[in-house]
Structure 1
């Protein structure tokens, strides 16, 4: 049975597609890449459209939308290869503040995030820590006046334009906490660079960075909030990849109808028709998997890490198949910058590694199912006899 969108979900999808069609063509995207920083104009447009508050609760001025709505927006972003750090700033950093922060922290910070005057960046990923749910190597030690943070964070998207970093770290009590750190804090060094998929990111070195007590999000451990944000953002990134796949399949189909070989269009060859059909099947299955994972997240307050990990595994396999075949069917044009296919290939390649490799996450889920005995119970059929 085909999944049916609600009226609100259709409005989100339509508004995103309309704005992106007029303001984020492939040529406009390439022009923005030549700018030194992320475009403040684009971010201001996001604020005006209400997207910056989409996933945040209503009491701070947000819309209180769920994983499905965020996913539909990210799917549109994927179709247009948007490179603004929406995931890092809104779906990770701001969402963690919304989940974990005190009432004062939420009310003072999040309205500014929603109107675009404050920009956050989420410093969570670390070298050698593949799973976004695993404890961090960065350490936070309690001092007489607050906390001292030491560690290295990698691939912090949106760091260059951020006015505040949300940094995760493990503490001496074994729990994880999240800290608000200013970009110009003493002991913090940032190395900014362009990423494979067109973003601007940074590696952050924190050496004895001192923050006061008020810089800690909330009053206790943030493990549950960090785990929830990891699952939600991973699912939305899968939606983004599904959108990119959908578009590149359409572009590849159109290209094979125009390109001729041996006097015939490539699309006339049966082997090409079969390959395009297989790519479309992969896209359809990825889309359906995103819808299911979003519904599971919406119906649970827990981390739902197994659902998110299995989704990443499935969509990663689809992304690899679709992107490689898109390049192959384009021939030499598949690696030329004039066409979107090369940029899409890089975007989908980077997606496969963000927040954990799909194969490793699948192995972790399998190990968990074996150790817990959950493999013997089906969500549809129930427990095995």
Structure 2
């Protein structure tokens, strides 16, 4: 009985010492040589949840972060414990917001007088104060700012159709960023007035709900360069947009810096490809010049070979003709010898045949007039091509 109780206590102690999945992940990351671990692709969502829980529960060391990224070209992903990027550690100086709108700038004035400005009711004054503070600080930093009134609410919307709203455009170098307010409409139970009640007896109805502009506002940002801090900032019961203005401007600057870096990388890549193309063209030019020289040399050699071959062939041709003429003459002599003992009529016929053979031998015999070195004709392209091809293969 005591032994069973002891075993149960040991099991409880082992369970108490067992780490949670998040703790085990942190221990593995800290102990890993490069502070990263490789996981299967189907575990990415699981580890993202663990990383999110580790952040919320304060288990990540200060100044560090956990990233879960797919390893492109591979079937898995990497979980890394790494330092926070510099932009997350940067201390941002708050942007002051005035309590009153004195001598507003052109952007604020245009929004104030615009019928399309989307903030209604009492919050409109506060929204204008926020815009005034943002525009003033942005221009102080050298950023171009202008109001864009009556812009399509949706990016792909045709300009003259659909809902419109007002935006503020911030221009950082080559990059434009659009910022605008959003305001919800609250629905509150309508408390009828005495007059409305009296009219109700006469058949005039009053609304069940009143539409009231929400005092909580949101600022939405659109522009290229990725997302660093956020692309939307919202009022809450314990947080206000006044505290986000510095981060909003910083978000635009970070995106602009990222776009500048991307353009530098693209330009460097373009130059690299251009240089590679020029090197390839130069190599092709060198190869073409080398082949041109080889072809010229092969052509000269082919002509020499053709010349020599023609001379040799002529030698053999003349020798064959000479030997043939000798053979014909010997044959004619044999006929003449045989004809001596033949009757006169047959003798005449045989001697005539021998004479004809000797005449042919004289025509064939290169000696003495045609037994000379021939004049070699200029070869045609068709005659030279196989000779040149053979020489180019051998080279």
TM-score normalised by structure 1 residue count: 0.21
Which structure has the larger Rg? 2
**Larger RCO (CA under 8 A, 6+ residues apart):** 1
